[in-house]
Structure 1
Amino acid sequence: MDELLRIDAVASWLGVSENTLRYWRAQGTGPTSGRMGRHLVYRRTDVQEYIDSLFAKAVGE
């Protein structure tokens, strides 16, 4: 089972604010997220895939 991370943990990991993550979610960008009740959560693997995709784009440029 994949570890679920709360928005504060993901923001810290990526070095962005929680508001940035909320903005990305509204725009349909950034790592995939979901709701568990009132909490916005991210799967650890989705966040890692998002990071990997950024590096893949940078290498391809």
Structure 2
Amino acid sequence: MCGQAGAFAIASLDDRPDVAYLDEQAEGRLRSDVAALWRTWDTLRSVALPRDLSIALLKAREWLT
């Protein structure tokens, strides 16, 4: 499933190519090939709830009270 391989962050700077940091079990690593990570990010954003709906959903869960 998309996005379950671990946390990542993509840094975009005006004067340099994008670079990504991947947080893996043993260590973090940098990656310059970020096209696949951008696709993952776009997919996750397309299925995520808006912030207020996410908060409402979490508050409605009995296990959080």
- TM-score normalised to structure 2 length: 0.27
Please identify the structure whose Cα radius of gyration is greater. Answer: 2
- TM-score normalised to structure 1 length: 0.28
Q: More strand by proportion, 1 or 2?
A: 2
> Could you say which structure has the greater relative contact order, defined with CA pairs below 8 angstroms and 6 or more residues apart?
1
Q: More helix by proportion, 1 or 2?
A: 1
